[in-house]
Amino acid sequence: MTSQIKTVVLLGLLTGLLMLLGGAMGGRAGLMIAFIIAMVMNVGSYWYSHKLVLSMYKARELSRGDAPHIHAVVEELAANAGIPKPKVYLVPQDQPNAFATGRNPENAVVAVTSGIVRILDPEELRGVIAHEIGHIVNRDILIQTIAAVLGGAIVFLANMLQWTAIFGIGGSDDDEGANPIAAIAMAILAPIAATLIQMAISRSREYLADETGAKLSSKPKSLASALGKLSNAAAQVPMKGSPATENMFIVSPFSGGKQMANLFSTHPPVEERIRRLNQMAGGR
């Protein structure tokens, strides 16, 4: 199953969960209210989240004079991808990492940490930038926003369902004797399932960005080498920031290499990503 098809299936599962909870609430009114509230909250984050994230990490825009090599690489890869050249930002953090943000290719930003510039060679850095431009090309920010809208609506509905079950209110006219224990169980399990599905969507998009980036740079092995270095460094050098932004970075900045943390990470295992990239390179 390709990453694109998998994403569609997972978004469908989120939608199914939403409808299931809406039915348990007893009618379409509660479903529509919850969905509208979640939509307003997440559309707002879609328009302004990139500014908030850049501000959170104290990122500053780099002029061409500040970093001519990085600008040249971003310009080249953006041209390969057929998109406008994204702005370039520097995050003053020692952990080597990178992310892309912006609601569309016309408003995109590629951000790199000061640490990444120190440990990667030019071809590895080019591979990382290609990965981030891959996220922009694949509209991953929009997809993550849609997933967040659905996930937020599910959490909101689950909370409503839990309280209506406890106090015995709500339910449709046909739901005589509805089981409050089953409703509470659904209210607890649905947000957990939604979170796991959102993680799966994020992991699927990382694989796709790896694939797209490798094609844009024409050097899968350089990206594979960079991922290995970044993963090792992330386990040793802390990142100062919010875990809520974990899915934005090329490697998970907060797992610290711990196996349990990796199990619930928004990123797929680095070893598997490297294996796939080496396979793209033909094992050479």
Report, as residue numbers or ranges, the catalytic residues. 132
Burial of 29 (0-12, 13-18, 19+ CB in 10 A): exposed
Strand, helix or coil for residue 61: strand
Question: At what angle are helices 68-81 and 180-217 packed, to 10 degrees?
Answer: 100
Pair 230, 94: CB distance under 8 Å = no
- Evaluate whether 138 touches 209 at the Cβ level (below 8 Å): yes
Q: Is 220 helix (H, G, I), strand (E, B) or coil?
A: helix
Per-position DSSP letters for 103-162, written without gaps between them: SSGGG-EEEEEHHHHHHS-HHHHHHHHHHHHHHHHTTHHHHHHHHHHHHHHHHHHHHHHH
Q: How far apart are CA 158 and CA 152, in angstroms?
A: 10
Phi, psi angle pair for 136, to nearest 5°:
-65, -45
